[in-house]
């Protein structure tokens, strides 16, 4: 009776071992796909990580970032170097005042002084204008409505400093104005034009309407580099004569 029981025990043990082997095989097969899926998932994630790395660290072809390239461009800006235009203009600048530049007491200033004085007395006429170089001012004598006035204007001819009434105008001055077709401004302009050929700075000394030997004329005196030059202007046709 003991023998059959031993055989039964051995058979049960063999069956149990077979069951265990079958179970282990299934477990191994189930784990293998999971590992493959995990490996495949990791492979799918690799490109994303790689793409992120490239975007974050994409270098310039020269190895320098765009901001570095812009900084280099700024440092080499043409404005930092010497400007050719500035150099050229500096070397070409004249050593003295330009030709025709406005000078206190000069032609432009004298004509402006006449205009400034007449603006104080509309309808008036200038009979004399003097320029005081030391005081840098013009004194303009004019007649308006039968009355005499003296207007003081600065050396530029633009700013009136004083306007003084001198009472009734002299009859001789009134008669001379009536005989003249050429006014003070025209006489001054013609004399300066006549003196253009002479070198030096030209400043008006005086211009006055006078009668000499029954002949009415403008007498104009210029200062040309501290040399006095006198002219007369015909009051009818404006012709200029140097004296």
In the chain, % of residues over pLDDT 90: 56
Read off the pLDDT band of 92 (50, 70, 90): very low
Distance of CA 224 to the CA centre of its chain: 36
Please enumerate in sequence order all residues whose Cβ is within 8 A of that of 177, keeping only pairs 6 or more positions apart, or say none.
125, 127, 143, 209
Read off the pLDDT band of 217 (50, 70, 90): very high
Distance of CA 52 to the CA centre of its chain: 52
pTM above 0.75, yes or no: no
User: Who wins on pLDDT, 47 or 236?
Assistant: 236
Residue 8 has pLDDT above 60, yes or no: no
Compute the mean pLDDT over every residue in the chain, rounded to the nearest whole number. 74
User: Who wins on pLDDT, 44 or 172?
Assistant: 172
Distance of CA 44 to the CA centre of its chain: 64
DSSP letters for 62-105: TSS-HHHHHHHHHHT-GGGSPPHHHHHHHHHS-SSPPTT---TT
Cα separation, 142 vs 128, in Å, equals 7
Distance of CA 27 to the CA centre of its chain: 89
Residue 215 has pLDDT above 50, yes or no: yes
Partners of 148 in the β-ladder = 143
Of 71-85, 129-143, 166-180, least confident by mean pLDDT is 71-85
User: Who wins on pLDDT, 75 or 197?
Assistant: 197
Residue 98 has pLDDT above 60, yes or no: no
Read off the pLDDT band of 191 (50, 70, 90): very high
Q: Where are the domains of the chain?
A: 1-46, 107-242
Cβ–Cβ < 8 Å for 137, 157: no
Mean pLDDT along residues 78-91: 40
Highest mean pLDDT (candidates 16-30, 74-88, 132-146): 132-146
pLDDT by residue (tens digit) across 112-165?
Answer: 999 999 999 999 999 999 999 999 999 999 999 999 999 999 999 999 999 999
Read off the pLDDT band of 240 (50, 70, 90): very high
Identify the pLDDT of residue 102: 73
């Amino acid at each position: 009776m003991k023998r059959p029981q031993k055989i039964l025990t051995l058979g049960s043990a063999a069956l149990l071992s077979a069951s265990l082997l079958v179970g282990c095989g299934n477990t191994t097969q189930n784990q293998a796909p999971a590992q493959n899926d995990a490996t495949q998932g990791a492979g799918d994630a690799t490109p994303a990580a790689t793409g992120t790395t490239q975007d974050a660290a994409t270098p310039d072809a020269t190895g320098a970032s765009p901001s570095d390239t812009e900084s280099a461009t700024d440092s080499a800006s043409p404005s930092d170097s010497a400007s050719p235009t500035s150099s050229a203009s500096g070397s070409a600048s004249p050593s003295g005042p330009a030709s025709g530049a406005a000078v206190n007491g000069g032609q432009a200033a004298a004509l402006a002084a006449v205009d400034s004085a007449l603006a104080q007395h509309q309808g008036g006429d200038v009979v004399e204008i003097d320029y005081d170089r030391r005081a840098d001012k013009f004194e303009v004598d004019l007649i308006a409505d039968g009355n005499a006035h003296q207007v003081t204007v600065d050396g530029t001819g633009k700013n009136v400093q004083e306007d003084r009434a001198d009472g009734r105008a002299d009859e001789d001055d009134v008669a001379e104005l009536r005989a003249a077709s050429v006014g003070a401004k025209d006489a001054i302009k013609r004399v300066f034009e006549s003196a253009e050929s002479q070198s030096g700075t030209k400043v008006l000394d005086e211009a006055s309407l006078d009668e000499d030997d029954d002949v009415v004329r403008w007498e104009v005196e210029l200062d040309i580099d501290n040399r006095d030059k006198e002219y007369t202007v015909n009051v009818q046709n404006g012709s200029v004569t140097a004296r």
